[in-house]
Structure formats: structure tokens, C-alpha cells
Amino acid sequence: MLKINIPAEDKRFDVLIIGAGPAGLTAAIYAARADLKVGFLEGSTPGGKVTSTDQIENYPGFQKVVGSDLALNMFNQATKLKAHYMYGWVDRINKDEDAKIFSVHTKKNETYFAKVVIIATGMKERTLGLENEKKFEYKGISYCAVCDGNLYANQDVAVVGGGNSAIQEALYLTKIVKKIYLIHRREQFRADAIMLDEIKSKSNVEMLVPYVVKAYVGDEKITGIKIQNLETNEERILNVACIFPYIGFNPSTSFLSNLDILNEQKQIITNKNKKTKIDGLYGVGDVTENDFRQITTANSDGTVAALDAIDYINKNAKSWSW
């Protein structure tokens, strides 16, 4: 990989974490408590998708907690331990094998250097892939009910999806909007039974299965959607002010294409200690090959990676000259 010149001290870190969701922040907390110099880069709101979750009811120690509050507590804990927060989107990562130093380059042409890099970039919302999707983004397409729900108070909206995220966001919207069309391509939902029972009890929710969205309707903003029944091929127009798709996520790993650490699904390949095949490079949280993606599993990944990274740095202390 590329040879590098080591920069001023404020650009150097023992551990540099890319992403500030639960996995990244947990790793930052553990590494900072080990008296390492820790930095974390985040191009969006610290806390990841937790910040856009209304109520969390399965996080140990809390019968119910607001997602943004939990995320802020994690962020504050990390920064109080002197983990350095930096804003930025990462463009690429390189490693000088002789110096055993990573260089992390951002889209704003900033470069940071680290003995260890932990990637915790999570997943990006999957789109429906329909015509005019970019045009209507934030003009009737939203991926965050908590963020944008109030914009559609007392109006009709659609939620697409059958997992926990879709049902959870729909439940949040029931308190705000006039009516919700809950659209899912299958008869069976993947969401937890408790949440399904709750959404079925809401008088302002109409469940439409098995349906898919075929097109957006509108000029400058969305005024409706065209849906199709997968059994009968019947099509109909729903007059809605907004559509909230929750149909899954794609890993945020495009900046890693030069490192050969991704599987066919573009997820990071790691071992049980969250190491990639490159010494000193780790992957944690939703961006990896995990079968389950929960806040608690992200916490676990961050813990394991940080502890292994601490051991790696201690064992190789003489390898770095700065």
C-alpha cells in the first residue's frame, strides 16, 4: 500500500473509529478508558440510526428509552473520556505496511493517521428504485418518521415494509397522521408479535398485503403512489402526502473497495474478534456479516473489537515510532 509521511500530533491516533453509532461509540468508550488516544469520524448525526428511533423497549436497563436520548448518552460518555469527535465522510483508507500506520482520507481532503482503525459505518436505507426517487426525496419520501412525521400531521401517509423498523415507525406515526397505509409484499410480517398486535389495534392503520409500490404520483412533490396487488395484479392509487420506505439497508462500504475485505453483499468480513484480514483493521456493527443487527449486538461488537485492539497495540508497542 501507499507510503505515508506522519503528520502533526493532532492528526495521529492510537485508535481511529469511522462511524459513531452504538458500535463505534462503544469501541470509543472502551479504548479511551484504556488511556489510548481515540478519535471518531462521523459524517452524519452521532448515534447512528438510534437517533431516529422513537421508543426503544429492548435495551437492557431501560423498560423504555427515547433513541435520541440513548444515543446522546453514549456520545457524551465517549467525549467525556476524551475521545475526539471529528465531522467528515471517509473517502478511502490506506496502510503503510512498513510503518504499520493507517491513513484515513476524507472527502474534504483531510487525512488522519492511526495504529488501529475500527470501521463502524453501518447501513444506508435501501430505496424502492422507482422513477423520480431522487426528485421526490424530502418532498414526499422520507426514511425517518421521527424526523419528518410532524410535517405530515393530520394527513394520509404510507409506510412500506414488514420488519420491526417499518412497524415501529408506523406506530410512531399513528399519533401524528390521519391515516397510515401499511404496505407489505408478503402476507406474513417479520416484525415482533407484540408490535404486530399493537399496530393491528390502531384504528387509523390499513394493512395492504400482498402489495408493492409501482410508481410515485406528483409533480413538484408526492401527492400519491400507485400500488399493485401481487396476487391479482390489480393496481390502485393511494392519495398520500408522504411515503416512508423501510425495506432494508445496504452496507456503507464503498470507500473500502481497495482493501479486499468485503463479501459479495459488500459487508465487511471479520473473525470472531471483529478483525479483518488486515492487521489493525476491524469491522463492527451492522456493516459486518452479522446475522442479527440490534443495538445490543452493535455494543458487543464494539466491545470485542476495542479489547482486541488494545491488546494488539500493547503487543506491538515497539512497532510505532511516534
Using alpha carbons only, give the angle 245, 248, 252 rounded to the nearest 5 degrees: 115
Catalytic annotation present for 242: no
Nearest one of 23, 67, 83, 72 to 46, comparing CA atoms? 72
Q: What are phi and psi of 96, to 5 degrees?
A: -90, 105
- Asked whether the CA dihedral 199, 200, 204, 209 is positive or negative, the reply is positive
Catalytic annotation present for 279: no
Candidate list 35, 98, 147, 260, residue with the active-site label: 147
List residues bridging with 210 in a β-sheet.
Answer: none
Nearest one of 157, 171, 162 to 225, comparing CA atoms? 157
Candidate list 69, 91, 144, 192, residue with the active-site label: 144
Candidate list 54, 96, 148, 192, residue with the active-site label: 148
Catalytic annotation present for 10: no
H-assigned helices in 88-174 = 133-136, 145-148, 164-173
Polymer length of the chain = 322
- The residue type found at 9 is E
Query: CA–CA separation, 120 vs 255, rounded Å?
Result: 12
**Grid cell in block for residue 194:** 407484540
Query: CA–CA separation, 68 vs 65, rounded Å?
Result: 9
As annotated, the active-site residues are 144, 147-148
